[in-house]
A and B are shown apart, each in its own frame.
Chain A
Amino acid sequence: MKSAFLILFILALSKVVCGQNIIYGMVTDTNSEPLFGVNIYIKGAYDGASTNEKGMFKFRTDVSGIKTLIASCIGFKKHEQEIDLSSDSVEIKIILEEEINKIDGITISAGAFEAGDKKKSVILRTFDIVTTAGATADITGVMNTLPGTQTVGEEGRLFVRGGSSHEVKSFINGLLIAEPYGLTPQHIPSRFRFNPFLFKGVFFSTGGYSAEYGQALSSVLQLETYDLPARSQTDISLMTVGTDISQTIRKNNTSLYGQVQYTDLSAYYMLVPQKDDWERAPYSFNTTLHFKQKVGQHGKIQAYTNYDRSNMVVNQPFPGDIYQQTQFDITTHNLYTNIAVSNSIGESLSYRGGIAYTNNLNHVLTDVGDLDTKVNSIHAKLVLEHDLSENVLFKYGAEWIYDEYQELTFDRDENQTSYFNLKNHLISPFAEASVYFSNKLMARFGTRYEYNQLISSHDLAPRVSLAYKLNKNNQFSMAFGRFSQLPIREYLKWDSELQPEKASHYILNYQYTKEGRIFRSEVYFKKYDQLVTQQSDVEQYHEYENGGYGEAKGIEIFWRDSRTFESIDYWISYSYLDTKRKYDIFPDLVMPYYASNQNITIVYKHFITPIKSQIGWTYSFASGRPYTDPNTGEYNSRYTGAYHDLSLNYSYLVKPNIIIHAAVSNVFGFKNIFGYQYSSKPNENGIYESIPIEPQAKRFIFLGFFITIAKDKNANQLNNL
């Protein structure tokens, strides 16, 4: 009995001597709100617990002495403290400090649209680039469904917030595309040169962008190429407009993609009559090579090359004379190549940069003369990103753009040849600090300096933006910036004394995001100064000055919802724009011909699983655009009718590796007139005769088969998305 008691006593004692302390307490945030799910434990031991909804925890441990207690919870800084485990129970109160999340936390949404899959609140998904009706897999077409853009049907380029298409600059992996669009005869829309299937992310800014970007008065379009593809595969596309074959080879940390494409609209133009008299329908040859190499944990090297050659011959009517036509025979060659590298040096420093080269040759033959142009452009850039502290991210770098333009014109009537040559070096260092005051408030301060060697200009472009997150779903942001841009080559070739054109942006943005729904509205004011004006005297001698100015203001609304209706995803964009400018040949402050007061786009996508199909439609509306009727004697005083378009598309998965895609634009055949072209001289009745500027055909119909051959028989061309 005595020994039994002794054993019991010893066992009881052992509990004390061998440990078993109780640790309990509470965890709150800095506002004394209890925190749920905080993991509390003793360093090096397994003992611990997680807090309940009231922030309380309690656990036993057999370790003793002075130990480190850790409290960790995602979104909060890890808390460590020494505790003395020599007494039976220890009560602890812990306050966790919020951790500032620079990556997924607050971001500036003023002016910025992002497409991709990395971040939570993106406006567009990668998938949207190739599945939006009416966009015909053209990146510009997809961007045109976003607020801030204006539909300009006869151009096919991006026009942002009352700016001309020159005011938008495009980049691949941060490196400039000097000639993003192919050259077309007047009133024939051009397409973006690059295959949208190669880009996983798009950053499209309609104003107020980072100091990293310059030489764009209105907008920046930045495209990000794919990371390593999933597998090796061969893709074949058979389309009504041509054929395309590509091969992807994937090795461990390397991949190579090669593509050859031939498109020819001859057959299509034979079946579907076009407005103009096409002697040779547009045809083009395009090839792309894309190499990717992963370097270490975070580094990568990418090389991208695209070459295309195209030709078309068209006879266009002449206003006032039904028997006369003007012939355009246009041949273009474009080589674009870039190498982009990025990596991190240690924990807090990373770099990215690269070099891009563009070589573009245009050869235009007309009845009255020939025009040969040649562009050589080099862009080199290096950006360093430095995590200075928990609250400050510092970005700095520099870029150099070399631009060489040569032009040879031959006037058939005068039998005269003339030659122009322009060269410019732009050097631009920039720096920008992102300061995170909390997870609710951040600001970005940046500036860039630009030196143009050709015109010896020095410019400073400051940028400031601010984001304030009201709560999980609501955010406000604002942006201000000064932007400068070298005048276009057509002006500079006549006058190299010109100064850069300038713009200031003021933007206020509100954004609401919640589970598959996003609402944003933006108000902006843009002011232009030092725009180049052109005056011609009687001898056709041009005089250029930086005397132009203008402004644009507007309200934009965007709503996307992929949640309310099952398998249905739709978005609505509305833009109101009020803009006037005096520049180029505009005699007064007038609304430019490419601007429309109101633009509405509705995009609808419906995935119907039982029939393995996706059906989509896009409706676009644009209010009338101004044009000049010389019979009135006033400049840009008349307006065209409104623009309407309803486009449909349909994709059907025949087999896991075969997709059929069909698309029709302007299903209802709305008659859209973009403007009027007038004769240069009045007829015998003193009237300037005109012809309407219209699309080549009311509708465009596309049909394509996309076949993928891979070891994995379920692979298809959407796999890489």
Chain B
Amino acid sequence: MERTHIVRILDHHGDTQLTFDPADRAAVDDLERRFDDLMERNFVAFDVSKHPGRIITAFDPGASEIIISPRFAGG
């Protein structure tokens, strides 16, 4: 059975949703590149497949839902 996983990037649209099938190597590679690009810009990624979530620093195709937030700063 095909499982669709989702990456949500929080942005000025609310969020941008990217869905992918973890078995699709090309899609995973593409998302991994995008993920790494965001990490270089100090975004923070949360694997929220289970509660509570966990922070991830490398793209995990096994995570069914990832939320990526812009960087945090002390107020």
Bound together? no
**B interface with A by C-beta (< 8 Å):** none
